Amino acid sequence: MSDALSDPIPPQGIDLDRPSVARVYDYYLGGTANWAIDREFGQRVVERFPLVRNIAVANRLFLNRLVRHLTNRGIRQFLDIGAGVPTAGATHQVAAEITGDARVVYVDNEPVAVAHAEILLDEEGNTDRNAVIYGDLRDPDELWSEAMATGILDPEEPIALLMIAVLHVFQPDRRTGEDIGAQCVARYRELLPRGSYLGISHITDDGIPPEVGPKLAELKAMYDSSSSSNAIWRSRADITALMGDFELVEPGMVWTPEWHPEETGPNAKQIHFTQPNEAVIWAGAGRKP
């Protein structure tokens, strides 16, 4: 039986004509919420750019450390936009390691990610504190309204808004084709109550090792021509600017392995980079004053 024939029946509405960014990322992480078309594309990427698996894992470990750090700072509400498939180490699971009263709303526009999140939350029996909605990052007010309508989050209390590895595969405006990523993030900053946090990780070609540059350019070309989303690389300055007037949490905007490594969990997967900038992802968090 072929690889494709052995795949489960996909959820309604899933596009199997092109690889999905969320499902390919799941493949890099060793998950199972992906289909033959995603694995074939992912394997081609790995063959051309072997570092991509470590890059994906480093990004997931940043998410884990960020959630631990913010939970230890007293944050009990998380809005995880572009969460992808909630594989091991999902936001609500990491927060639960520290406190039993954290609440999480996941958002994605990928049917597989939403379906798997619903299944996971149902199996764990904690749907009173966690929810998943189908939403589009490009519609901040509508997405925010739907997230608050779940009743999981209190808009009067601080919220950690997580945009992890989503803004570099952000789709342009439907009408104009323009990149409205910064504009949308600015609106989310306005919607967040005081004392909230914004966490971002974003692929860049700024400051990376010279030998990695051509591989990253090839990676972008592969995603632009084959996958469900085009890739947008921003500079460190542009990524930092997404924080607006939020106060950056130390150590600021750094490579994913460098952001609070002391928050790494004891069972975290071990990966190695010769130098931190091989991770090619700037990451950081800011607090709304």
Q: Per residue in 174-202, pLDDT tens? A: 677 678 889 999 999 999 999 999 999 99
Question: By C-alpha distance, which of 76, 103, 73, 84 is closest to 260?
Answer: 73
User: 45 pLDDT exceeds 80?
Assistant: yes
Provide the pLDDT confidence category of residue 165 given band limits of 50, 70 and 90: very high
User: 230 pLDDT exceeds 80?
Assistant: no
Q: Which residues of 18-41 are buried (b: 16+ CB within 10 A; e: fewer)?
A: ebbbbbbbbbbbebebbbebbbeb
pLDDT of residue 1: 39
User: 258 pLDDT exceeds 60?
Assistant: yes
Give the mean pLDDT of 71-80: 98
The C-alpha angle 253, 279, 216, rounded to 5 degrees, equals: 110
Full set of structural domains in the chain with CATH: 54-210+226-287 (3.40.50.150)
| Single-letter code of the amino acid located at 21 | V
Across the chain, what does the average pLDDT equal? Answer: 89
Q: Which residues of 196-208 are buried (b: 16+ CB within 10 A; e: fewer)?
A: bbbbbbbbbeeeb
What torsion do the CA atoms of 217, 202, 276, 67 make, to the nearest 10 degrees? -150
Identify whether the C-beta of residue 45 lies closer than 8 Å to the C-beta of residue 69: no
Q: Per residue in 263-274, pLDDT tens? A: 998 888 889 999
pLDDT of residue 130: 94
Give the mean pLDDT of 115-121: 82
pLDDT of residue 127: 81
Identify whether the C-beta of residue 217 lies closer than 8 Å to the C-beta of residue 211: no
Q: Per residue in 81-93, pLDDT tens? A: 999 877 768 999 9
